[in-house]
Amino acid sequence: MAKKRQILVIGHNTKGCLPKHEKIAYEIGAEIAKSDSVLICGGLGGVMTAAAHGAKDAGGLTIGIIPQNDPAEANEYCDIVIPTGMGLARDFLNALSADGVIIVGGGSGTLSETCAAYMHKKPMVAIRNLDSSVDPFIGGYLDHRENIKIVGVDTPQEAIKKILELISP
């Protein structure tokens, strides 16, 4: 049996998540499930809950890699919970677990995960025009290394299509 593709969805947590972020994340989660890929997220609220909810509703498998050590902290849509007890250092586990990353808005935590994915040259796609910490880098690179370009898209469907193109051999 071939390994399933693993797509990480990152973005605003509960405090910064607006209904537009939730709608986009939900649709991305559903599209990930329809592509027969596994959804990975940080397992908590906001974009993470919405994406996992969308994937579950579409019959997909969801993994939540949480910073706490208690699996009960994960959102209800995570099939598999990996409690790291590592706090924010878990951002690196999220990035390294993924074949590709989709970014839906976000603040400094999202930027941290983006940096971790960038350092490990993980393909990344970001939804444009969501006033996030990643917006200045969409269409370009995080630094002079030019490890991997952050590709900008406008819809959940474009996000899935593009990330699948980028992670396919």
Residues 69-126 pLDDT 10s: 999 999 999 999 999 999 989 999 999 999 999 999 999 999 999 999 999 999 999 9
Q: How far apart are the first and last CA of the chain?
A: 17
Closest CA to 134 of 14, 21, 7: 21
**114/134 Cα distance (integer angstroms):** 8
Separation in Å, CA 41 to CA 75, 144, 147: 10, 28, 23
**DSSP string spanning 1-46?**
-PPPPEEEEEE--TTT--HHHHHHHHHHHHHHHHTT-EEEE-SSST
Express each pLDDT in 35-69 by its tens digit: 999 999 999 999 999 999 999 999 999 999 999 99
Query: If pLDDT is split at 50, 70 and 90, which confidence band does 2 have?
Result: confident
* 127 or 3, greater pLDDT: 127
**Which residues does 33 contact at the CB level (< 8 Å), separation at least 6?**
39, 54, 55, 56, 58, 59, 60, 61
Q: Are 131 and 27 in contact (CB under 8 A)?
A: no
Please name every residue paired with 107 in a beta bridge, in sequence order, or none if there are none. Answer: none
Question: Does 156 score more than 90 pLDDT?
Answer: yes
